[in-house]
Structure 1
Amino acid sequence: MESESVTTPFGRRPMSLALLLKQRRGEAMAAGTTRNKWKLFRSVCEARAGLGVTDRALTVLDALLSFYPEDDLSSEKGLVVFPSNTQLSLRARGMAAATLRRHLAVLVEAGLISRKDSPNGKRYVRRGRAGGIDEAYGFSLAPLLARATEIEATAAGIAADRQMLRATKERLTICRRDIAKLIAAAVEEAVPGAWERVSCLFHALLERIPKAATLENLPPLLEELETLRLSIINTLESHEKMRMASTSESQFERHIQNSHPESLSESEPGLETEQEEQADRNHQPGTKPSKDSLEAQADGGEGPPFAVRTRAGKPKSFPLAMVLQACPDIADYGPGGAIGSWRDLMTAVIVVRKMLHVSPSAYEQACSVMGPENAATVMACILQRGGCITSAGGYLRDLTRRAERGEFALGPMLMALLRAKSSAEDDCKRINVA
């Protein structure tokens, strides 16, 4: 619906081109658009930083929504509310009139509401003989409904970022604890190595932890700490293997040769083994794995070491390129219709979760057990197999329980989707040739 005219402000408030454009955008929306007003308000609260509104302005918006008589905002019905200043102030927790006007102006400027002023500037409604509303003057909620999709997408992105940041902080805390205790164990057991140098490197990394952690400054530091932890583990394992080999040789007078040593040079404790460096190169973004490589990774056979779990026992995700190749449908729900990073995938999964009626508690439990990346991958697989799954929420909870018992592996699920896709492509080629 689109109005044939515009509403100019009453009194000394000037008209501007920006105000005209906001009015037109707010009044133009697809027919049949509807949203639950309180769920939409929750999304506005979630996306507050991206919309440029304050918490006091949200209090005023909450009060305005309470004057709308129904729970669902609909483009087919009038969206104008017309409370008096006294009643609006009462529902806004007793906000003063001057403060109320200021925050109403913030909501108008943010494009969440618009004014529909009467000839004398008063807010009122004119009803017909049947009791229906013929004309209403006050504040229009049409801009809020028109931007519902945009607001929900912004809120989903912010929620995904917050969840990923929390998971990153947890991984950083565990990594710090692991490194500190591993270094202490190495010194106590008198394991050969430049442990003083490793300790200095560890403390230097800790000093770089920012006070205001974000998704931009925290992951690179976490990657360095995880590399250091893996190097320490390799050194300790190498020492233990050499000790066991020496003990075995003295007991049985046999020489045991290890053809795949994993030791690190004592003068270079921060370096990874050649196999791990190759794994890191395969993890570089933009590198698309081959079909044989993907099959080997998912089945747990030979090939690049993309295991579901690291040597330290922590969940590890599969490459994003492999996930997108197995589950191409998830890309339609990413920002701008594409997925270029794990953050984009998690943003898309939040939208898909709501669409498949998966409860927040079920998804949060999956993230806690499998890790955010693996939980997002499972949701992408569920979307890809949507026609075969009756209850997505129940299926996700069942997989989470199996993962807690160590009975669920993500590789076979991805492999099945890759094979199904490959089979479909082969059938299409044969049809085209015929």
Structure 2
Amino acid sequence: MTFTKLSIKRSEAYQAIGKATSTTETDVWVIFRALRDSHTQFGLRPHHMQTLQAMLSFLKPGHGETVFASNFEICRRVGGIDERSLRRHIDRFLDLGFMTRHDSPNRKRYRVRSSDGRCISYGLSLSPLFERANELMAMAQEVENRRRDCIFIRKQILTKLAQLEEFRPESSFPSEVRKTLRRKLSLVEYRALLTTTEAEYDLMSTTVDAPDATNMSANDGHIDRHLSKSEKEDKDLEREPKPEVQTMTAICDQATALATNSLRTWEDVEHHAGTLAPMMGIHPTTFEKAKTAIGGQKASCAIFIMLQLGNRIRNFGAYFHSITLGKRVHQFNPSLLLEKLARSEGVPA
């Protein structure tokens, strides 16, 4: 049994063969491959395709599209399946409209010809399969496109998971997603999982680096350099007293302007910061975790300072997580940052 291998890419083959309308223009094995690649769309299984492959091998060029081989010979060529299984496979193809049966009076398969060249063929005709070549090519191309899209989205998900695992090794989210990826997912399920993963990444990622997250002018370079100081120096800075409420609200006028009530106490500031956080893309749960980790005053200062920096920070959620819960938590000093902001914006500290 010969099985000619195409020398062109599969997608190109489907597109090229899709233009063909007859078996004289179409390689029967290309049609077979198209059905093989899309067999699940028709409820077929691999053993069905093995039977069809064997039946196709009995066709001879120029001798029509009817299989005259006996069930015994077909079973031998398939690989020794029993005749009952063969009959089930044939019935399945008949139900799908991929072949038709023309039985002779004695149930034998053969062809008879008249003197003027007319003929009658008794056997299993595969002409319906070849007539549906365009449909099969289109179906196979759709399956291939879907397969490639699933692979592409899967790689996107795995990339996000790797970044989450690097910066949040304690999170259980990546392991849960990887368990889901062990199953065979549909394209819709992959897209939904990617959306969920991207949302988690936006919330938890700490990949936003201070120098990368800001696009500061020359006057604001001091803030950038402050965030790049060594951990030892920043730990020493943390021992300095917290800024006064009046000082912070004066310097961070962007956040202050959005307050509906006067900000006189740290309690007022924390309440206002909790209102601003979701507006900045920071999940309320993350803000509460930051308050627990570094204190409500320091977490609130982070909200006010970030809003003052504005578009110099690309991702508020990731940046906030980085300086309050992530690897840069020891580098965040509100007092020093406010001092730098006051000098750069000409506000009395």
SS at match of 2:316: coil
Please list, as runs of the form range in 1=range in 2, the aligned pairs for 1:216-231 lying within 5 A after superposition. Answer: 216-230=188-202
Query: Would you say the 8 A contact 2:167–2:207 is kept in 1?
Result: no
Change (3 A) 1:31 1:227: closer
Please list, as runs of the form range in 1=range in 2, the aligned pairs for 1:284-323 lying within 5 A after superposition. Answer: none
2:103 maps to which residue?
117
Query: Would you say the 8 A contact 2:108–2:122 is kept in 1?
Result: yes
Deviations 1:8-63 (A, max 9, x none): xxxxxxxxxxxxxxxxxxxxx97787421101000111111112222222222111
Q: CA deviation at 1:122?
A: 1.6
Q: Aligned equivalents of 2:46 and 2:166: distance in 1?
A: 44
Deviations 1:107-128 (A, max 9, x none): 1112111101112322111135
Q: Aligned equivalents of 1:119 and 1:216: distance in 2?
A: 52
Q: Is 1:245 matched with 2:222?
A: yes
2:274 maps to which residue?
none
SS at match of 2:112: strand
Query: Would you say the 8 A contact 1:47–1:155 is kept in 2?
Result: yes
Please list, as runs of the form range in 1=range in 2, the aligned pairs for 1:32-431 lying within 5 A after superposition. Answer: 34-70=25-61, 78-128=64-114, 134-183=119-168, 199=171, 211-230=183-202, 232=205, 235-237=208-210, 241=214, 245-246=222-223, 260-262=311-313, 264=316, 269=321
Partner AA of 2:209 in structure 1:
L
Point out where structure 1 has 5 or more consecutive residues left out of the alignment.
1-28, 185-195, 251-256, 271-434
Change (3 A) 1:116 1:182: same
Query: Would you say the 8 A contact 1:82–1:124 is kept in 2?
Result: yes
Q: Aligned equivalents of 1:244 and 1:200: distance in 2?
A: 37
| TM-score, normalised with respect to structure 2 | 0.52
Query: Would you say the 8 A contact 1:113–1:142 is kept in 2?
Result: yes
Change (3 A) 1:102 1:172: same
Partner AA of 1:237 in structure 2:
A
Query: Would you say the 8 A contact 1:52–1:110 is kept in 2?
Result: no
Q: Aligned equivalents of 1:81 and 1:205: distance in 2?
A: 50
Q: Aligned equivalents of 1:99 and 1:207: distance in 2?
A: 37
Partner AA of 1:153 in structure 2:
A
CA RMSD after TM alignment: 3.8
SS at match of 1:83: coil
Deviations 1:274-306 (A, max 9, x none): xxxxxxxxxxxxxxxxxxxxxxxxxxxxxxxxx
Q: CA deviation at 1:267?
A: 10
Q: CA deviation at 1:146?
A: 1.5
Change (3 A) 1:125 1:86: same
Structure number with higher relative contact order (C-alpha < 8 Å, ≥ 6 residues apart): 2
Query: Would you say the 8 A contact 1:125–1:133 is kept in 2?
Result: no
Q: Aligned equivalents of 2:59 and 2:194: distance in 1?
A: 49
Partner AA of 1:112 in structure 2:
F
Partner AA of 2:312 in structure 1:
P
Query: Would you say the 8 A contact 2:206–2:318 is kept in 1?
Result: no
SS at match of 2:138: helix
Q: Aligned equivalents of 2:178 and 2:65: distance in 1?
A: 54
Change (3 A) 1:64 1:119: same
Q: CA deviation at 1:140?
A: 0.7
| Larger displacement relative to structure 2 (212-221 or 60-69) | 212-221
Q: Aligned equivalents of 1:134 and 1:213: distance in 2?
A: 51
Change (3 A) 1:209 1:53: closer
SS at match of 1:88: helix
Q: Aligned equivalents of 1:179 and 1:220: distance in 2?
A: 18
Query: Would you say the 8 A contact 2:21–2:133 is kept in 1?
Result: no
Partner AA of 2:195 in structure 1:
E
Partner AA of 1:180 in structure 2:
E
Deviations 1:120-164 (A, max 9, x none): 32211113559x672210011111012111111111111111111
Partner AA of 1:47 in structure 2:
S
Q: Aligned equivalents of 1:31 and 1:204: distance in 2?
A: 51
| TM-score, normalised with respect to structure 1 | 0.43
Partner AA of 2:109 in structure 1:
R
Deviations 1:176-234 (A, max 9, x none): 111221346xxxxxxxxxxx8xx466667667667332211222222232344355357
Change (3 A) 1:239 1:102: closer
Q: Aligned equivalents of 1:238 and 1:217: distance in 2?
A: 37
